[in-house]
Amino acid sequence: MSTYKSAPARGGPLDGIRVLEVATFVAAPAAGALLAELGAEVIKLEVPAGELLRHTRPRHNGFRSDFEGSPQFEMENRGKQSLALDLNNPAARAALLEVIDGVDVVLTNMLPGRCRRFGIDPESLREKRPELIYASLTGYGNKGDEADSPSFDYAALWARTGMMDLTRDPSAPPAFLRPGVGDHSAALSLVCGILAALRVRDAGGGGQVVDVSLLQTGLYLQGNDLSQTLATGNPAPMHDRSAPRNPLWNHYETRDGRWVMLVMIESGRYWPSFTRAIGRPELESDPRFVGPVERYRQNRELAEILDAVFGAHTLLEWEQKLAGHSVIWAPVRRLEETRDDPQIQAMGYFRTVEHPELGAFETVGPPLSMSAHPMPSNAPAPGLGADSSAVLRAAGLDEAKIEAALSAPGRESESVTKEGEA
């Protein structure tokens, strides 16, 4: 078992705020990591064996690598403390309640029924401490028939909301969501709600429950299309790249099998400069394409022309040709190419972790920056259970109670959150 510790952040906007995180996988832990980077002290509760993500290696996800750590776990848990307890042990449950007595926020993705089973549901905790902020992530919300249904973002946020069906060409099968995309969106909602609740509490308004579901987050992410469907009763039209409503808002393949993404939504504004950028200035005054309406009516014809134009050069050549022109576009990058992106490097969006066991490795930084608060994002995740005794001692437990809380309950431990990343 690793014993290295990760010191909690200090000196940030949330200095003095203590958070207990009872969560696994991505969404809720990602919210905890952001709170830690903002200066909060975040205590992560884990089962004594450690959660699955801690033990997941890149090779388990198909990467050809012998990296012996879990980059995902490191990213979602940097800067926290690790408290390892088996809640099947009554002494551990009692100890956890002592820890909760000293925190400002409980952050969890444990399903509501399991929270009640372990006595850490919002009603039980806030009856004793009405000032407590309880932040809950579920798959489908904390009410209704599906309140206790386990889920991941693939199901509740991606498939259930219609995004999976719409994010494809009409003839293609539904697209597969990449890991953590929906979870990180939900994490931002959790942090937003927690910060607002802290402000209300600090103004004398007391604590409250912050509820975020993956389903709700997915509906919000899909809001531009969904709001129109709700208002009109009509399904959202799918994007057909061979007949786009606006050919300047489309993707085109280059000679080397790569792609460019054009995003000139105001096509009338960009049409003259675009025709010059692609070396076809005669198209500007072509009566077939002179205005947005004409370009829509002749969308297949223009898309075919642009397919031929972009297919005549490589992606690198297009990067050079389009540079300096007033057009909105982006190369469709491969993930590994982001490491060398000069703008990403200039902004410092990747950070280097100096890990006591794994050595130095790069990771993804936070999704924001603050002028008066550096967020280095280079702290390692804590060793499993490395802070257990210190956390319990700080909560006021004597050595006998600490020993009892950390002892095995005499039967196989049940994962605290195995019912699902909400």
Return the CA Rg of the chain: 25
The secondary element (H helix, E strand) that includes residue 331 is: strand 329-331
User: Rounded to whole angstroms, how far apart are CA atoms 162 and 151?
Assistant: 16
Of 18, 9, 2, 5, which is closest to residue 394 (Cα–Cα)?
18
pLDDT of residue 270: 97
User: Rounded to whole angstroms, how far apart are CA atoms 299 and 240?
Assistant: 10
Residue in this structure with the two tokens 């005549």, named with its chain if needed: 312
Sequence-ordered list of residues with C-beta below 8 angstroms from that of 177, at least 6 positions apart, any chain: 153, 154, 157, 158, 164
Q: Which of the 8 DSSP states describes residue 7?
A: P
User: Rounded to whole angstroms, how far apart are CA atoms 371 and 386?
Assistant: 33
Q: Which two tokens stand for residue 105?
A: 């926020």
262 within 8 A of 250, measured Cβ to Cβ: yes
User: How does strand 249-253 pair with strand 81-84?
Assistant: unpaired
Q: Which two tokens stand for residue 297?
A: 């009516």
Backbone phi, psi, residue 243, to 5°: -145, 60
Q: Which two tokens stand for residue 83?
A: 């408290």
How many H helices and E strands in the chain?
Answer: 17, 11
Name the percent of the chain in helix, strand, coil, to the closest 5: 40, 15, 45
Number of C-beta neighbours around residue 326 at 10 A = 12
SS (H, E, C) 52-67: HHHHCCHHHHCCCCCC
The CATH number for 18-222+343-406, chosen from 3.90.1200.10, 3.40.50.2300, 3.40.50.10540, 1.20.120.1200, is 3.40.50.10540
Calculate ∠ Cα 45-46-50, nearest 5°: 160
Amino acid of residue 389: S
3-state DSSP assignment of residue 10: coil
Of 250, 344, 236, which is closest to residue 295 (Cα–Cα)?
250
Range list of H helices, 8-54: 27-37
3-state DSSP assignment of residue 27: helix
Of 290, 272, 294, which is closest to residue 281 (Cα–Cα)?
272
Instruction: Give CATH 3.40.50.10540 domain extents, the chain.
Output: 18-222+343-406
Of 56, 60, 66, 102, which is closest to residue 81 (Cα–Cα)?
102
Burial of 48 (0-12, 13-18, 19+ CB in 10 A): middle
pLDDT of residue 234: 98
User: Rounded to whole angstroms, how far apart are CA atoms 47 and 50?
Assistant: 5
pLDDT of residue 410: 56
376 within 8 A of 74, measured Cβ to Cβ: no
Of 21, 49, 40, 52, which is closest to residue 419 (Cα–Cα)?
52
| pLDDT per residue as tens, the chain (422 positions) | 556 665 554 579 999 999 999 999 999 999 999 999 999 999 999 999 999 999 999 999 999 999 999 999 999 999 999 999 999 999 999 999 999 999 999 999 999 999 999 999 999 999 999 999 999 999 999 999 999 999 999 999 999 999 999 999 999 999 999 999 999 999 999 999 999 999 999 999 999 999 999 999 999 999 999 999 999 999 999 999 999 999 999 999 999 999 999 999 999 999 999 999 999 999 999 999 999 999 999 999 999 999 999 999 999 999 999 999 999 999 999 999 999 999 999 999 999 999 999 999 999 999 999 999 999 999 999 999 999 999 999 999 999 999 999 998 754 444 444 334 54
3-state DSSP assignment of residue 310: helix
pLDDT of residue 204: 96
Calculate ∠ Cα 155-420-404, nearest 5°: 170
Give the sheet arrangement for strand 133-138, strand by strand. Answer: 81-84, 41-46, 18-22, 105-108, 133-138, 209-213
pLDDT of residue 29: 98
pLDDT of residue 112: 96
pLDDT of residue 57: 97
Q: Up-side HSE of residue 376: CA atoms within 13 Å toward CB?
A: 11
